[in-house]
Amino acid sequence: MHLIEWIHGWQPLALCATVLGGLWGCAESAVVAKKPQPVDQGVIATEQPQMQVLAEPVLHPNLSIAAKLLRSGQFIDAEIVLRAILLEQPECARAEFLLGVAVMKQKKYALARPLLESSLARSQGFAERSQVDHFLGWSCYYIGDLDSSKRHFQAHVGSNPTADDSYFALGVIAIDEDRAGDAELALQRAIELIGPHPARSRDRAKALARLGDVAVRREMLDEALGLYEEAAQLWPDHYEVWGKLARVYDAQGRASEAQAARLNQQAAMERAGRVAPVPSTEESGNAQGTP
């Protein structure tokens, strides 16, 4: 999804644009923020968040420079600027958040986590505060702390009920934990929020592909096949889904279609700059592939 894509190195879309709009230099002031509560079954928020009065933010004139560097994808440069800011203003929560995003973008998830946690713990009002739990969710996910990851994504959908990115993430975690029912519910909610808009085709394709993974776990191969085919049609460059299609075709004894899917996977990988040999039809493995 869009915020997720930003973290992974993919292209940001709607919600990421909102966050990056804040990074560009939104005004900072003391605000009354919602304190999110845990979500029932890792999917649906059932309680109204409590209100929390936040302190005035600690400011620095170079925060807008750092935010601009982040927006333009200059993550190492942003990190340098933000570390300098924190030397002068070590209690600046927004600088900690932006630094956490900068190092997360470099896939340094273990370094990002304490920075993001500290930015929340300071209880300062800053433009992107309501999105911190989302980034914490992915930091925890990639260091293997699924319980904390789930808790942060629950908090994010509790305070941002239209955050399809975090519903997608909850679906991914539920698949990892073999909770097919919760995964289906979360992914269907993400798909509903994404909608049919052409600009969101990639995000919709990723969610459909993951819903296909749920169907594979349930041994519902015909349903999985339909979901994978729809995902591949929406986003032909999604090379992982072509591999999943190939494995389902193999399981159904459709060797020629499996080989065609592998050729499409190879072409998609080449377009993405990731070249790998085309696997044979005897390749072992399940239809889910990688996250």
The pLDDT tens digits of the residues spanning 46-90 come to: 344 566 789 999 999 999 999 999 999 999 999 999 999 999 999
Find out whether 138 and 169 touch, Cβ atoms under 8 Å.
yes
* Cα–Cα distance for residue pair 200/219, rounded to 1 Å: 29
3-state secondary structure (DSSP) of residue 184: helix
CATH 1.25.40.10 holds for 2-160 = yes
Q: Extract the residue ranges of the chain whose pLDDT is less than 50.
A: 1-18, 20-22, 24-42, 44-48, 278, 280-291
User: Where in the chain are the domains?
Assistant: 2-160, 195-291
Task: Check if 2-160 and 195-291 are the same fold.
Answer: yes
pLDDT of residue 43: 52
Residue whose entry in the numeric block shows the structure tokens 């966050």: 19
Distance, in Å, from the CA atom of 259 to the CA atom of 240, rounded to the nearest integer, reads: 14
The Cα–Cα gap between 27 and 79 comes to 21
Q: For residues 6 and 152, what is the distance between their CA atoms, to the nearest angstrom?
A: 18
CA distance 122 to 193: 32
Amino acid at 145: D
Structure confidence at residue 52 (pLDDT): 79
Q: What Cα–Cα distance (Å) separates residue 133 from each residue in 61, 97, 162, 163, 169?
A: 25, 11, 14, 11, 12
Q: What are phi and psi of 34, to 5 degrees?
A: -85, 130
Residues 6+ apart with CB under 8 A from 77: 69
Q: Please choose, from the candidates 42, 16, 74, the residue with its C-alpha nearest in 3D space to the C-alpha of residue 171.
A: 42
Give me the pLDDT at residue 23, please: 53
Residue 41: DSSP 8-state = T
Spatial CA neighbour of 160 closest among 11, 9, 16, 12: 16
Residue 177 backbone phi and psi in degrees, to 5: -90, 5
Cα 250-252-253 angle, rounded to 5 deg: 65
Q: 55 forms bridges with which residues in the sheet?
A: 124
Determine the pLDDT at residue 49: 56
Question: Which tokens is 200 given?
Answer: 């969101």
Domain 195-291 has CATH 1.25.40.10: yes
Structure tokens that stand for 210 in this block: 């993951």
> For residue 230, what is the DSSP state?
H
- Residue 178 is encoded by which pair of tokens? 């073999």
Torsion from C-alpha of 101, 102, 105, 111, nearest 10 degrees? -80
> pLDDT value at position 281?
42
SS3 call for 2: helix
Distance CA 135, CA 120 (A): 12
pTM score, whole prediction: 0.80
Give the Cα separation of 201 and 191 in Å (integer).
10
